[in-house]
């Protein structure tokens, strides 16, 4: 209804402008205003060019946003989690079990720390003022941190164990509207094609949510690393080469993924999906997200030895207010 009201208001303004110019012909035609009504909100931070780029492409890269000092603190906390010096409640640690006997508990085994909302040090990322001021341009002032990850892309092989196929993040989220959700993804060291940087397909955020599943072509898939079942190979891809501290903000419908790490080192990044607290939960039954709901609920039941759990409960546990008021989520 708000969008309809905006359009009616724009039409009324246009009609009024036409009438005034008929009544006073000497009035010069008004310059056509730049209209941003879909993916960004009015703000004093983004330039007109930055807003237009996000509207057109579905992502925006901000150079050197997060300090080296903060990144090193996140790195140290990640190492502590790998060594099990700390064990935050609710955190999900994803490992390559085949490497455990060789390297034990270390960063050489752990490829992702997910749901770190109970880890005060890592969760600081979600509260950084320099990050939130950009997030607010997409979500508005009432901001929830919904989903957190620190990814440690391990050196890979021809098996492509740690490739993440092209996907849309909205596939994982049972809340809407999509336009008030944004991901902040910060490189903790240089990310390029050699170590598996992010790959995006600009403009795909303007599409609908597509069916996802485990790629049949892969020999091995990581748990919950779903991909598009019908990817358009003709859509151009952009490799986001980023330096330490660079941060990309992107829409949850944007097609994106990452390749393998062909180096001997590690490619770390830290990210959070933010949403306006005015967003609302939806029922994903009888939708393309239903099979994900069942898989996630089963995983949580096994981890916490629960008889039953609902998807909304899982997200309520993860979600944290980081700015403004908590309204729906």
pLDDT tens per residue, range 174-219: 999 999 999 999 999 999 999 999 999 999 999 999 999 887 654 5
91 vs 161, 222, 303, CA distance in Å? Answer: 22, 17, 11
Question: Is residue 244 classed exposed, middle or buried when 0-12, 13-18 and 19+ CB atoms within 10 A define those classes?
Answer: middle
Backbone angles phi, psi at 266, to 5 degrees: -120, 145
Report how far residue 276's alpha carbon sits from residue 280's, in angstroms, rounded to the nearest whole number: 9
For 20-44, give the DSSP string: HHHHSTTSPPPPPPP---SS----S
Residue showing tokens 């995006």: 200
190 vs 163, 236, 247, 256, CA distance in Å? Answer: 18, 23, 11, 18
Give 120's pLDDT tier (boundaries 50, 70, 90): very high
pLDDT single digits (tens) 53-69: 999 999 999 999 999 99
Q: With 60 as the cut, is the pLDDT of residue 100 above it?
A: no
């Amino acid at each position: 209804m708000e969008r309809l009201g905006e359009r009616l208001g724009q039409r009324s303004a246009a009609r009024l402008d036409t009438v005034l110019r008929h009544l006073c012909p000497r009035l010069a035609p008004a310059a056509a205003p730049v209209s941003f009504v879909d993916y960004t909100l009015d703000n004093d931070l983004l330039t007109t060019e930055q807003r237009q780029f996000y509207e057109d492409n579905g992502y925006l890269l901000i150079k050197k946003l997060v300090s080296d000092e903060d990144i090193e603190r996140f790195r140290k906390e990640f190492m502590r989690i790998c060594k099990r010096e700390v064990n935050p409640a609710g955190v999900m640690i994803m490992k390559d079990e085949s490497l455990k006997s060789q390297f034990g508990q270390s960063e050489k085994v752990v490829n992702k720390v997910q749901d770190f909302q109970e880890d005060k040090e890592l969760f600081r990322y979600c509260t950084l003022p320099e990050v939130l001021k950009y997030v607010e341009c997409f979500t508005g002032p009432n901001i929830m941190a919904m989903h957190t990850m620190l990814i440690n892309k391990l050196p890979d092989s021809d098996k492509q164990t740690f490739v993440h196929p092209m996907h849309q993040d909205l596939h994982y989220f049972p809340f809407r509207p999509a336009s008030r959700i944004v991901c902040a993804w910060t490189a903790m060291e240089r990310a390029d094609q050699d170590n598996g940087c992010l790959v995006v397909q600009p403009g795909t955020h303007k599409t609908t949510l597509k069916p996802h599943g485990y790629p049949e072509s892969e020999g091995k898939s990581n748990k919950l690393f779903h991909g598009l079942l019908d990817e358009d190979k003709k859509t151009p891809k952009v490799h986001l080469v980023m330096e330490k501290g660079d941060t990309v903000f992107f829409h949850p419908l944007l097609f994106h993924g990452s390749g393998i790490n062909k180096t001997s080192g590690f490619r770390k990044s830290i990210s959070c999906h933010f949403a306006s607290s005015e967003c609302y939960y939806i029922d994903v039954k009888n939708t393309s997200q239903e099979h994900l709901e069942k898989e996630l609920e089963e995983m949580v039941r096994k981890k916490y030895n629960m008889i039953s759990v609902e998807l909304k409960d899982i997200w309520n546990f993860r979600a944290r207010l980081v700015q403004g008021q908590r309204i729906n989520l």
